[in-house]
Every structure is written in C-alpha cells, then in structure tokens.
Chains A and B, each alone.
Chain A
Amino acid sequence: MRQSNRIGGRIFIGLTFLFLYLPIFLLIIFSFNAGESSAVWQGFSLDWYAALFRNRLIMESLYTTLLVSLLATVVATAAGTFAAIGLYALSKRKRDALLVVNDIPMMNADIVTGVSLCLFFVAFFQGWGAFARWFNGVQGVVALPERLVLGFTTMLLAHIAFDIPYVILNVAPKLRQMDRNLVDAAQDLGCTWMQAFWRVILPEIKPGIVSGALIAFTMSIDDFVISYFTAGSSTSTLAMRIYSMTKKRITPEVNAVSTLLFLSVLALLVLNNVREIRQERRAASLEPRAPTLLEKLSMKFNQPAYRWVRRGLAGAMACAFLVVVVLLTGATGSQPVVNVCSWGEYIDESLIEQFEDETGIRVNYQTAESNEALYSLLKSGGADYDVIVPSDYMISQLLEEGMLEELDYSRIPNFELIDRRFRNLPYDPENKYTVPYTWGTLGLIYNANMVEEEPVSWGALYDDQYAGDVLLINNSRDALAAALLHLGYSVNTTDEEEIREAFALIADASRRGVFQGKVMDQVFQKMEGGNAALAAYYAGDYLSMLDNQADGVDLRYVIPEEGANWFVDAMCVLKDTPHYDEALEWINFIASTDANLANMDYIWYASPNTEALERYPAYYEELYGEELDPELYEIMAAPPEVLERCEMYSVLPPETRALYNELWIRLGA
C-alpha cells in the first residue's frame, strides 16, 4: 500500500515536472532545428541563432531591454535600500503597515499596474502640455517641450517603480536581522551616519541588496505587460518584440530568442540561489576556515596599498557606464530619425537597414494590430509616429479628422512610378496625402482537402456543412463585407436594414456553430495546419500561407462570384510631425521599384509600382530559378477584370460605424 502510494506520488511529481518543463525543453530543441517547422526535426543547426543576431529589430529591442533593466535595477536598488532603511527608523506599527503597502504592487496584476501607469503618464503629459504652453506663452527665454510622449523614459520610470518593492522585500529582512546598536556603535567609534552606512550597514545588508538587485533585474528583463503599456509606440523590449513576432506564426527565430531569454533568467536565478546557499553555509560554519582563492584575492585587493588601484577601477567602471549612457542617449538624440508604424510582417526588414545605410536616418519601426488599434493609439496621444500605413477607409477617416499632413510630392519623385490605377482613389481624390504601399483583395481561402466542392460563393462561410471549420475574421468591417456581398448589397451601404440583415446572417451561423472562432493573425496557424477549412482573408496572406502549409493541406483562394473587397494600404504622414523631411525620404525610398520588388517578394502583397508589377515575375525567376506560377501572381495582383468585380471600402458615417460597433459587440465572442 505504502509502496504503491510512493510510486503513485513519484509518477505524479514526474508528470507535474514534465508538464512544466517539457514545453520549454521542446522550445529549446526546436530553436536548433534546421528547418522552419516547429513540429518536425530536420537536423541540427545554429542558423536561427545566426539569423537572430543579424536581426536588427531584435538586437535593438535586446539592447533596450538590457538598458532599461540595468538602469532600473541600479536606481531601484539604491532607492529601495534607502527606503528600507528609512522604514526601519519608523515605529513597528507604521513599518508593518508600509511593508504591506509595499507588498501590494508585487501582488497586483501586471495589467492593472501597466494600465494605471499608462493613464498616469498620459494624464501627466496633458497637464504638462497645458503648463508648458502657458509657460512658453508668458516668456520667451526658455522653451519647454509642449508635447511629451510615452517612450523609453516612461518605461524606465515604470520599471523602477515596480522594481523597488522587490528590493525592499529583500533588504528588509537583513535590516531586521541587523543589530540596531551596530549603527550606534559605528557612530560611537567616530563614524558620521554616512560613514556608518558605508562601513557597517552596507556590508551587513549587502546580501539582501545583491539578491534584491538580481530579482529586480530578472523582473525587469521578464516584464512584458507593464512595458507594453508604458513604452509607448516607439520603444520595444525583447518581450514585446517576441510578442509581435509571434502574431502570425511562431518561427524558430522566436524559439531561439526565447531560449536565450529563458537561459539568462535561469542563470540569474541560479546565481542568486547559489549565493544564498553559500551564505547560509558560511553562517552555519562559524569556525574559521581556509579562505578560497577568490577571497584571498579580494583580501589582497582590500589592503590599503591597493587603494588607488581599487579607486581607479571603480572610477573607470563608473566612467565606462557614463560613456555608454551618454553615447546611447546621444546616439538616439542627435541622429535623424523617422518613426514608422506598419503591420506585422509587412516589410522586408533588410530595406530598413538599407535605408539607414543610405541616408543615415534611423528608422524606428513599430507595428500595430489593426487599423482600428492604430486609430485608437493615435487618438490616445500615446503614439509619436511619423509615417503610418493605414488602409483606404481609415485614411478617409483620418483625413476627415484632419490628422494627416499634406505631402510635398516634389520630394517624392518615385511617386511617378505609382500606377495610374492607384492614384486619386476615393479616399484621397486629389492625391495630396498618400503614397500607396500595397494593394490586394479580400477573398475566400479554403482547404481543398476539407471541402466537398470548390466554394464559389461567400455563402460557404455560413454553410452548415462546414460547421466548426469556418474562421470568422475578427474585424467587423471585413466580416460584414462578406455577408453584405453575399446578400447582394454594397460593402459601403449605410442602410440600417441591410446591415442588420447581414449581421443576422453572421449571428445565425454563429448560433448554429458554424464558426470555429473569431481570428485575425491566428488564421495562419489554423489554415496552414489544416485545422480549419474556410476563412475570408487577404490574398497576400494566402500566398504567405502557401509557403507554410502542412502536408495534406491544399489551400486555395477564390474571389467569390458575388464580388469582393479590394483595398489599398497607403503611406501617410501624421500632422505636425517633427520629422517631416525624414518621413518624405522614407516614403520615397519605399516607393522605389527596388523596394517594391523586395517587399512583394517578402510579404506577397501586390505593389502599386508599375515597373515592379511588370518586373516581378522575372525578378522571381532570377531569384528562385523557377517560373512564377501565373495563377498565383494573378491572385497576388488581381487583373483589372477581377478588380472590376471588387469594391473598395469607403469611410462610413459615424452613425453607421456606431451601428457596426453595437452589432459586433452584441455578436460577442
């Protein structure tokens, strides 16, 4: 009985650990996979690590992460240590109360901390803006910046704020263990308070300070949620970068960077634990023992004769740190910069480096989730982008609200290369604000091996025979467009009856269990893996899925007989940008034929550049040594007769938008 219990217990523990560690173990293993798959082992390689270190965006975010963690740790350790000492000068009742207060931020949900800090900063910025405007108005000597935005500084402040409690938590017990008379004794023996602090308090509580600093550093490196809310639009930590990289599919590159992150955090924790164990041992063995080599060295080093060496070293380290900080802030401060916000996996990243090399302008490249997310980010005032790439209908909306800057086309000579078809479109009739980036269609993607017959109508999305296999696009405009088209209405209808009817079609199908779920970027994994049969999605993304489809999956794309939506994403410059010149240079660079060819090849969305459209098949052949399937190219760049069957979104009046929102929310999850 006992025996079996013990075995059962062991199995249970084994399973628990397996469950905890197997996923991480798999992640580590597949980071060394030669192929792209996250399921099939294709041989050992370090390619993904090499790719990782070549990936400028990842390296930049790694740098940001290390810098913010280091700075936050240094500041938080100093502040937390003194705070803990201050706490211990208070009466026990007050101290206990304050320690509870100190615990709360650690227990608090990160998301609450993040959102509240974000709100706090934004509120402060608004107050500051009002003050600065008034101040600059009444005097002309000092010009205060009127517009502050979330960025590295706010994130650093947030990190410091959430690190401090961990330092206090680690230092406090050491202070409690410390004999209070030690400070008196030191002062009695001739120390000022500060000398007593350095000579007695610090050595006594050093273990607590070091472990506090290590924990704070780990927490900072680890943090995603709080950074996400306080970093603003133009700063990304490693965790944030990884998150944006996983939106479409988890590439082995993500495995590699996650592995490195896991190992470094593990190393920190191990370091901390080893230190603690060693201290306990030392405390336990009171008898004098032979000093270790390290201790001998440090003893030698502590002798007065080495004082100058010691000071020199400390000075050198401080200088180095200072230089790094200055270089870093200087580098970002003086160099011209352009802040670009686009969509995930929506550019050939080598173009960014190429642009930087050619112009010396640093590109701060960020991504947003959707037009609506971008819009609310811009509205909240938390973003400081210069160039954005919204879709047609969103451009109309932004123009209506006067948020875009007119472009100086004399400085965008490459605009001449944009095909006539993509100029003066309804969203920008006189073409004063935009330069098209890509265009494409929204069609029906299906897995030929999961459907009886090839669907030709949007109706397939609501058909019971595919119950549980249909993915509903999680975007009210697109989801409704398909339904409206199916019912024979315009995608831009403002007729409430029509819209309600279209929604009823979706809601009804949803009730009957036709939909597997509402998705955006998850559509890739689902369709590629053969986990869903049908989805309305964009042509470019279909092509990108083709590359990754699993065995036994046969993805196809069709423009249904009812017609479809076609769209243009165009580059625009936000009003009052401080980097107007750089923004124009970026736009001109991206509009070039070479950049368009590279992008077409990388993201599989059609280019609006006439030359690029013509040359792409040849470019493809040259690059891959095989002919581009003309059918696929037609899917990517729909021929005029197909485009004629498609309708572009126009901006909807506010009451219709409100109706969309209301109905979409009512549809629920």
Chain B
Amino acid sequence: MNRTMVKELLSAALVLALGVAGLLHIQYGAWRPAPLVPSYIMPQTAYYFLIASGVWLLAALGFFTLKGRLKALQPSDAKDQDLVGVGVAVALMLGGAVVYFWLVLNLGLIVSTIAFNGLLIAVLAPNATFKSILIVPLLVGAAVWGLFVRMIGITLPPTLLF
C-alpha cells in the first residue's frame, strides 16, 4: 500500500461516510414540512452526489490497481506532503489562532496581535533573529492599529488592555 492508495481510500471512505450519514439524518432527523417539495431536497441531492462520487472513486481505484497504473491517479507535478510539518503548522497556527482571538476579545487587540505575531515569527521564520522577533511584531501591531482601529473603527467588546 503506497501513499496514493491510502489517500484515495481515505477520500472515498470520507465521502461515502458523509453521504450515508446525511441520508440517515434526512430519514430520522426533524425536517419542517414544506409545500410541494420536501425541505431536504437540496441536501439530499448533495448526499446522492457524494455517494456516487465515492463509488466512482472506489471503482477507478480498483480499475487502476488491476491494471497496475496507480500512478495515473496522481497529478504529474504532485509531491508527497510533509505530514509532520503540516501537523505542526495546524497546531501552531490554527490552534494558536483560537487562543489569539480569545485574547483579542478579552485582553485587547493590539497586545494579542503583537504577542501572536512574535510567537509565529519565532517558530516559523527560518532566519529570525532576536532583534527581528522584537521589532517586526511591533510594526505589524502598529499597522493593525492604524488600519483597523483608526481607519475602520473596528467594533470589539470592551477589553482589559488595548
């Protein structure tokens, strides 16, 4: 089992699972009755499409495996993803963004922006120096202040700092 195989099987499983779960939800969920056409007509069509494309994926996968041409499934210029790197980036950036925005709402926009920007540069910038970690976030903070606070007058709940 190579990586393409795993990826395609996962895709098919995901798509099929979503389609089946959706159809079950239509069967057993509470849908407000609508005049003339059922109110779940559009989601239902989407679920059918999901299931159909899942089956299509599996069929194509089987066909190419039998013929021994699995490579044909992969776009020619695709590279294998760096899964560890993506994992780190997701945790740091998306996870960090949740914390960051919570801080924006509770601590203050500018303070949180400077802190989060500093953190990102420290972890991500390949040639970050101590000096750039201190200076660049201040510049970004100033830009955010000028744009969002001065020009647009962003609406935020009252916070502890600024």
Q: Do A and B bind each other?
A: no
Q: List residues of A whose CB falls within 8 A of some B CB.
A: none
Q: List residues of B whose CB falls within 8 A of some A CB.
A: none
